[in-house]
Amino acid sequence: MQRDRSILSTVPRNGRLAKRLAVFMELNQEEIDYLDQLQQKEIRLNAGTDIISEGNPYQFSYILKDGWAINYKLLPEGSRQIINFLLPGDFIGLRANWFKTAEASVAGLTDIIVSPMLPHRIITGSQKFPKLGAAIAWSSARDESIMIEHIVSLGRRKAYERIAHLILELRKRLQIVGFTRQRSFILPVTQEVLGDYLGLTVVHVNRTLKKLRERGLIAMEGERLIIKDIEGLERTAGFDGDYLKQDKPSPMTTAFIERIDPSAPVEAPLKKRLGKIQEAAPAGLKSTN
């Protein structure tokens, strides 16, 4: 096993979450400090150990500071479906805030480092730094976007396209937290894991990767995946990375943040929208009572 995967990133461990949230909206120093403070405590886990177990009560949510993890479910007959890859800077188990029981398990794919988050810290933090609450909500919404793309992949893309799509998505996500070089990144994952994410068998993943290599789209050097033809990959994947960007909060978010921040008064734009409900009815409108 690789020891300190950490050094592979240009972003320090505690800065990864902030880096990721900054995609959504810039944070000021105070907020960054608070996030840093949230992550003081570190827990190290061996690759393969569950940090959350399906059906069991949640304990905490976590910030994944280093290493890769997966969110997965096991089926009765023994197969596994991976729901999502969790990368450094991602939250783990935010749903713990709303549900008593875990819907799926989370395990490290590599050795990982996490910081547990106490619920009260999140709550008080969100009250003190309204942007933080918004950023957490945004983060959940981004995860949902990723799941939507996953559904599209599984439902409508062929093996070849699915893999291409996954590679591009991982690249984009890793870029944000500083884990990529120009045209390559470490993919610390067996072909079986890929299959369990992509809804394919190992054998078929193997053959499909071979095809991607033969056609000159990618190359591999150990765990390092080298992208040889980005346009080619994007074309075959039908990839449009916007779902990972979402770089501007909606006006509602802005209004929300300002509203719950006692220091900021509610300003005009919000009110202006209130009267526009009639026009909001989309085409195809039949009647309004």
203/252 with CB nearer DNA = 203
DSSP-derived 3-state class of residue 135: helix
Nearest to 80 by CA among 39, 113, 60, 109: 109
- Residue ranges in 133-152 that form contacts with a copy of itself under rule CB under 8 A: 134, 137-138, 140-141, 144-145, 147-148, 150-152
**195 and 207 Cβ atoms separated by less than 8 Å:** no
CB of 52 to DNA, least distance (A): 21
| Region 167-196 residues binding DNA, contact defined as CB under 7 A | 190-192, 195
Q: Give the integer Cα–Cα distance in Å for 88 and 206.
A: 26
CB atoms within 10 A of CB 184: 17
Instruction: Determine the Cα–Cα distance for residues 219 and 41; give it in Å rounded to an integer.
Output: 38
Do the Cβ atoms of 246 and 138 come closer than 8 Å? yes
Query: Taking the complex as a whole, how short is the minimal distance between the CB of residue 226 and a copy of itself, in angstroms?
Result: 26
Closest to 71 measured CA to CA, from 58, 43, 52, 98: 52
CB closer to a copy of itself out of 16 and 162: 162
Among 98, 182, 265, 268, binds a copy of itself (CB under 8 A): 98
Name the 3-class secondary structure at 83: strand
Instruction: Tell the smallest beta-carbon distance from residue 138 to DNA (Å).
Output: 33
Q: Token pair for residue 168?
A: 């591009």
Our CB check for a copy of itself shows the closer of 129 and 197 to be: 197
Residue 202 binds DNA, judged by CB under 7 A? yes
Is 242 a binding residue for a copy of itself by CB under 8 A? The answer is yes
Could you say whether residue 60 binds a copy of itself (CB under 8 A)?
yes
Q: Is 81 in the site for DNA (CB under 7 A)?
A: no
Q: Does 204 bind DNA (CB under 7 A)?
A: yes
176 binds a copy of itself (CB under 8 A): no
Angle, in degrees to the nearest 10, between helices 159-176 and 230-237: 120
Site for DNA in 99-158 (CB under 7 A): 158
Minimum separation from the CB atom of position 17 to a copy of itself (A): 17
Token digits for 30? 């105070």
Find out whether 254 and 244 touch, Cβ atoms under 8 Å: no
Rounded CA gap, 204 and 206, in Å?
Answer: 5
Q: Which tokens hold the place of 41?
A: 């405590």
Picked from a copy of itself, DNA, none, the partner binding residue 134 (CB below 5 to 8 A depending on kind) is: a copy of itself
CB of 146 to DNA, least distance (A): 20
Q: Is 41 in the site for DNA (CB under 7 A)?
A: no
Which positions lie near DNA, rule CB under 7 A? 1, 158-160, 190-192, 195, 199-204, 206-210
